[in-house]
Structure 1
Amino acid sequence: MEDDGETYYRVTVPRLPGLIAYGDDLEEGMAELEEAKKAWFSSCLRRNVKIPEPLTKKYSGKLLLRMPKSLHAYLAEEAEDENVSLNAFIVSKLAQE
């Protein structure tokens, strides 16, 4: 994400509403998330708020995706401009949302 020209990462856990952490890079964001989780769980326990059960499904991390050729070309060119693989480029863009 960008704010006043500075790039930062916003890290969330969709199953844990309101749990948000920020970092200058993804590693810092993930470290901040671990600290935020402790506070989030403590707050839920104090307020007797139900904590969602962890998901037990396993995911491979692999996804087949169809897209228009024009979008594929655009993403490939952007990845090349960034000097990263198309896969890494798409993952970084998805992680920013």
Structure 2
Amino acid sequence: MKKDLNYYMNLNYSTEFKKITEDDGEVYYRVTIPKLPGLIAYGDTLEEAVSELDDAKTAWFSSCLRRNVKIPEPTNKNYSGKLLVRMPKSLHAQLAEEENVSLNSFIVSKLAQG
């Protein structure tokens, strides 16, 4: 498949929306595609910002294609939420006795804490 402007415009990129309120009370919206650095659109309404995003994408992709810059594509990974951890039996026994909760709960708690 030829990776031209139409190809990239039809990819399903994750989009982030942010409502911005200035100190003077002015409200507007910013829409970005994190996978595409520097691609930002603004609008007085969310609908306007999304519409502006299409124009920004066209310009961004066209510029990259003209300059032969690699364009990142979205990834569609599905995660099961499962993780297998191997540890020494002695550590397993120690944690199981000390924590008084399931090791799964303990590990998820520690990961969530950062």
Residue 33 of structure 1 aligns with an amino acid whose one-letter code is L
Please, which runs of 5 or more residues in structure 1 have no aligned partner? Answer: 59-97
For 2:21 and 2:67, how far apart are their aligned partners in 1?
34
2:33 corresponds to which letter in structure 1? V
Q: TM-score, normalised by structure 1?
A: 0.55
2:70 match: secondary structure? coil
C-alpha deviation, 1:57, in angstroms: 3.5
4+ residue segments displaced more than 6 Å = none
Aligned to 1:24: 44
1:2 aligned to 17, 21, 43, which one?
Answer: 21
Among 44, 57, 60, which residue is 1:37 paired with? 57
The number of residue pairs the alignment matches comes to 59
TM-score by length of 2: 0.47
Q: Percent identity?
A: 72
Q: How big is the alpha-carbon RMSD for the aligned residues of Structure 1 and Structure 2?
A: 1.8
Structure-2 separation of matches of 1:40 and 1:23? 18
CA deviation profile, 1:15-61 (whole Å, cap 9, x unmatched): 00000000111111111101100000001111211100222236xxx
Write out aligned runs for 1:1-97 (5 A): 1-3=20-22, 4-57=24-77
Q: Which runs of 5+ in 2 are unaligned?
A: 1-19, 79-114
